[in-house]
Structure 1
């Protein structure tokens, strides 16, 4: 064999690929597969279900008149914060297809009334308690109580961890129950009392100390940011599912093998693999991934797990006693969410009476409506309306609140369709009849445990430290990265980069540098 180190490098790149198994085909796993699929790597992704993309999937509805409409089955937008998603979209050459939602914004359904969502807030916390739209939502008494926040001493020693307690103490129950709770329930599927301020609203406590008030802290953190509801998010013309489709196509083009219907049931640390490229026949860890229904495991040099915590923790525990102990911690429960899509021939909805939709307070009488949110899809995204004839509208209603058993799972399609139509009529304040319905679909998702849950930060810190001790093992996904693509995409890319780094160290070690 030649003594030229370049020959050794070429041998490693061409003949000794680093084998990576990715467990889970949500957006985190797909993004990592695409980033890892390059010369020198052999990538196999295993997805238990029959569909890739996780909550970023398409929904094709066959309508009563024989036509079709395609919308998003899950995620319909991405947060623009940090610019991570925009950068990734640009790499995929989709930037010219990014669209903005209708700036009219959403409404809040409160007990006995519906009001436009106040502008200029953060997680529902108002920056201007005496603003007209805040008064409309919580009344003069609630607004004046919120304004007292300006007169209370700031928290200079220690910080309040619990978001609900912080808002209640500083601004009162009206702000907590009518503004903050509907937002956190919609964003995190969690009550404000379950959320950690430092995670749900980073920088809020220090800003409160600097400015002297909670409203001032919100104003400082929003300074220079978007001022209208909805302007902090973007979408893709035709649907966010096109992002997942493009990543899937690009990953396969690069050589990644993406398998569906392949559930990983066990992860095993096997005898080390002899690495002939390293001096003195060095060894590196080797993992065996077992798939349900298959006798032979897949051998891997590195494993990246993009699966819900209920599936990821047992896999990790099988290769780490430290993680096995952590797996028995009191992890917050995931929430089952059911999305119901209605297509209606209802010209009365042309005026978009509730803007782009509503978040519904959990204090609303269930006799009035049981949905936790409703999106007027055709009012929010112009590209959806362009697929449809005049007067035809798409509404999407969300069911399932944190800490409560869902009552929709056991409902028949007919019963759920009737429930959704009744709720839509109540929330739009417009009579809607069964004869208007030309399309219906239901999709159930399992939301990740909120990263912002009180105590979750400490649990995840311990978990990350334990995972770092496992060479060649990475974990990503919304339960550990945070909610939304703006958190999942950069987290997955960083995990993929660390796996690539393992190979780079192997390459440099092989020539003694």
Structure 2
């Protein structure tokens, strides 16, 4: 039985097609919002969203720790891409958008919290004086990085591992103490495996064009600084980024979409002109098109018979797991904490990979809970997911031990929470763009089907939203206006 809501069109002779969106993370919700005209103009389809879990939002999730509302997943969006801002404004959150405070981050390395050096691109320095002043790398590491000025240009083809390229130009210490923790904060992966083309395309362009990578980064940053009205690099939402999926879901419902949770999909079947989506409960939904906004592993299962080649490629996409430990303290029991938090390079062997001093970073949180201080740590990355099997008490204990050593925090938190994100972040190894291109080429033979999500064209929230909009466009053969999709990866 098809339980979708029929929304009449202004042209009754041409009813809107029915699109089933499988997956209610931010990419799937963005696709639904585009299809129902929440963003980008009028409705172009009837929409049913099927989410397997009890809630919408995927890796965007809010919760309470010690009576304080916090993000338990992603906490900010890249504001220099327009998609997340556009979507938030469209669903009534324009006034809630807030950039972080001016508090600066540090790197916990070589036995101390050291200021994040200015003038870098994903850890690749454009200013050796600023790098020297930070103390992040040793004098030997600085000397090795300075050799970049005399080295011949490194020949780089279509792709190379980020760590491999940077180590060849600037030395291993730049990779270990700067690139690795910054890149790991985005992908929870390893710099020696992550694709330069997929993860840092700006750096690939510099590598292919410039002899000196440091001079190239410096020039790129100088050009960006000439913008007379630079937007904040990142922004958050008053009350947490976890508010965004709920607001999008509400807007989609108000626009006539049907959204269901606790509805996993068992199979897809293609007929001559349409699709049948079968839920694990045995319900069959007829659809003119399908958007798969699910992890690559789930897409591989659903496409195993329809497109075995694409399914094999999708099944090869690996994911990394991580745990977030949120700690709430009585502010009076803490001394002043510097900045917005710190990164911990894996080379130093610490348990945690990063800590965010959330009450310093987000003005809305400081205002909402002035007597409390909330911070969080992250543990685990690709091939190191065994940490997720530790019980909550052990993860809290390991976090507190590192916080004591790094920042002198000896107080006892009055509340804690552990959030585990199993298979949380897809990995982008060398060759990832080519893999995605092969998948999309193979699926071109299945009209009315599109994929979207973090596994393909970017793991950030704006990239996932843009991918949802692209999928909506693909299955309805419409056009996305230029102000909706920047085209930036």
**Shared fold per TM-score greater than 0.5:** yes
Is 1:313 the counterpart of 2:313 in the alignment? no
Listed one character per residue, the Cα deviations across residues 168-188 of structure 1 (whole Å, up to 9, x for unaligned) are 111111111111111111111
Task: Classify the secondary structure of the residue corresponding to 1:194.
Answer: coil
Query: Equivalents in 2 of 1:131, 1:334: separation in Å?
Result: 35
Per the alignment, residue 435 of structure 2 pairs with 459
Is contact 2:453-2:464 (8 Å) kept? yes
Cα displacement (A) at 1:134: 5.4
Task: Please report how far the alpha carbon of residue 449 of structure 1 lies from its aligned counterpart in structure 2 after TM superposition.
Answer: 4.9
Quick check: 1:443 aligned with 2:416? Answer: no
* SS of 2:303 mapped into structure 1: helix
Whether 1:289 and 2:277 are equivalent positions in the alignment is yes
Match 1:415 to one of 372, 394, 402: 394
Partners of 1:135 and 1:342 in 2: CA distance: 28
> What is the CA deviation profile of residues 288-347 of structure 1, one whole-angstrom value per residue up to 9, with x for unaligned ones?
11111x22311111000111111011212332243245356xx24211111111101143
The answer as to 2:122 corresponding to 1:126 is no
Whole-angstrom CA distance in 2 between matches of 1:236 and 1:251: 20
Kindly indicate whether the alpha-carbon contact (under 8 Å) linking 2:126 and 2:218 is maintained by their aligned counterparts in 1: yes
Are 2:347 and 1:363 equivalent residues in the alignment? yes
Which of 353, 356, 360 pairs up with 1:379? 360
Contact 1:451-1:481 at 8 Å conserved across structures = no
**CA distance 1:381–1:447, shift in 2 (3 Å):** farther
Is 1:196 the counterpart of 2:200? The answer is no
Distance 1:151 1:209 in 2: 17
| Counterpart contact for 1:204–1:221, Cα < 8 Å | no
Cα offsets for 1:121-155 (capped at 9, x unmatched): 11111101232555511022211211110111113
Which structure 2 residue ranges, 5 or more long, are not aligned?
A: 1-8, 38-42, 481-489
Partner residue in 1 for 2:23: 24
Counterparts of 1:345-356 in structure 2 under 5 Å?
345-347=330-332, 349=334, 351-353=336-338, 355-356=339-340
How far the C-alpha of 1:158 sits from its partner, in A, is: 4.1
**1:446 CA drift (Å):** 3.4
Whether the 8 Å contact between 2:36 and 2:255 is mirrored in structure 1 is: yes
Residues of 2 paired with 1:269 and 1:287: CA distance? Answer: 5
Q: State the partner residue of 2:406.
A: 427
Instruction: State the partner residue of 1:405.
Output: 385
Aligned 8 A contact 1:332 1:449 in 2: no
Give the secondary structure class of the aligned counterpart of 1:192.
Answer: coil
What TM-score, normalized to structure 1?
Answer: 0.84
**Alpha-carbon separation, structure 2, partners of 1:225 and 1:92:** 30
Question: What pairs up with 1:158-307 in 2 under 5 angstroms?
Answer: 158=157, 161-225=160-224, 231-270=232-271, 272=272, 285-292=273-280, 294-307=281-294
> What CA distance in whole angstroms lies between the structure 1 residues aligned with 2:55 and 2:203?
39
RMSD of the alignment, in Å?
A: 2.4
Gap change, CA 1:12 and 1:352, over 3 Å in 2: farther
Report how many aligned residue pairs link the two structures: 463
Instruction: Provide the C-alpha distance between the structure 1 equivalents of 2:427 and 2:353, rounded to a whole number of angstroms.
Output: 20
Match among 437, 452, 466 for residue 476 of structure 1: 452
Residue 70 of structure 1 is matched in structure 2 by 69
Task: Give the match for residue 152 of structure 1.
Answer: 151
Distance (whole Å) between structure 2 residues aligned to residue 18 and residue 131 of structure 1: 57
Structure 1 residue runs without a partner (length 5+): 1-7, 273-284, 505-513
Q: CA deviation at 1:388?
A: 1.5
Residue in structure 2 matching 1:395, options 362, 368, 375: 375
